[in-house]
Amino acid sequence: MSGELAQFLLSGLTVGSIYALVALGFAIIYNASHVINFAQGEFVMIGGMATVSLLGAGLPLALAAALAVALAALIGLALARFAVQPARGASVVTLIIITIGAAILLRGLAALVWDKRIHALPAFSGDAPIAVAGATLAPQSLWVIGVTALIVCALWAFFNRTLNGKAILAVSHNRLAAQLMGISVRRVLLVSFALSAALGALAGILVAPITFTSWDVGVMLGLKGFAAAILGGMGSGPGAVLGGLVLGLLESLGAGYLSSAYKDAIAFIVMLAVLMLMPGGLLGARAAERV
């Protein structure tokens, strides 16, 4: 394997892990409520920006990161409670606009509370590059890939081994039946928003030392995570992870071998192609909403 190819694969896996985390956030909320939360990218921004500002206030990195994740989860709860729940049963357009409105509101608040400059987090464990198969790997990439792998395992355990997780799965399969079994659909909605927000924030913290963070990073990261969720199959957890990794690799290889100017377009071309040719995605339900 040539060093160049190895380099592209490694950076693709790193950025793909971030997309996977964002895509998981989309999938969890979509499963629990059939809402597509366009504010998902803003949680990524909040994670990165809050950590930067708390770190600046003198807190140690681990504590700053934990507080940032908690803040995002709280905002996620508030979004579910005060914006999505009151509009339950509204049309698709209505819900889409509510979450996009929330995204714009959060972005505006971030620009006011923090600032409009670009910030970098220090890498978690130094910058000394590691040589792998003729390519160099930043230690932060290992953090990104490792933490993502841990979270995927933890989520698997959450959805298969705990009552809360099983309740979310039950609601996603059949809302009415779940309600009849005594599951509180309201609570499932709140839990899923808080969980997705926390996942997004974590992604934002992990990636901030590599790609930097600012008040408007949420737009592109959110939309690409969304493309990853569609590629994997909307609402499928394993699909979201697979979609994220595949998208990261495609983007990295495409930018390396085809055109770096069109790097950002790759995700959306893939998304359009998937929607036209196989709307169910790689691992989604076979029966998508098709006429």
Question: Can residue 285 be called a binding residue for another protein (CB under 8 A)?
Answer: no
In the set 8, 51, 75, 107, which binds another protein (CB under 8 A)?
107
Neighbours of 216 (CB within 10 A): 15
| 213 DSSP β-pair partners | 119
Q: Nearest Cα to 267, choosing from 23, 97, 3, 7?
A: 23
Taking Cα atoms as reference points, which of 181, 188, 201 lies closest to residue 28?
Answer: 188
Measured CA to CA, the distance from residue 190 to residue 181 in angstroms comes to 18
Stretch near another protein under the rule CB under 8 A, chosen from 119-127, 145-153, 162-170, 218-226:
218-226
- Of the two residues 22 and 55, which places its CB atom closer to another protein in the complex? 22
Tell me the per-residue interface mask from 124 to 163 with another protein, x by CB under 8 A, - otherwise: ----------------------------------------
Shortest distance (Å) from residue 113 CB to another protein: 10
> Rule CB under 8 A: is residue 78 a binding residue for another protein?
no
Specify the DSSP element, H or E, that contains 112.
helix 92-113
What burial class does residue 124 get, using C-beta atoms within 10 Å of its C-beta: 0-12 exposed, 13-18 middle, 19+ buried? middle
Near another protein by CB under 8 A, which window of 4-12, 84-92, 121-129, 161-169? 84-92
Give the three-class secondary structure for 64.
helix
**Residue numbers at the binding site for another protein (CB under 8 A):** 36, 83, 86-87, 90-98, 100-109, 111-112, 219, 223, 226-227, 230, 234, 261-262, 264-265, 268-269, 271-272, 275-276, 279, 288-291
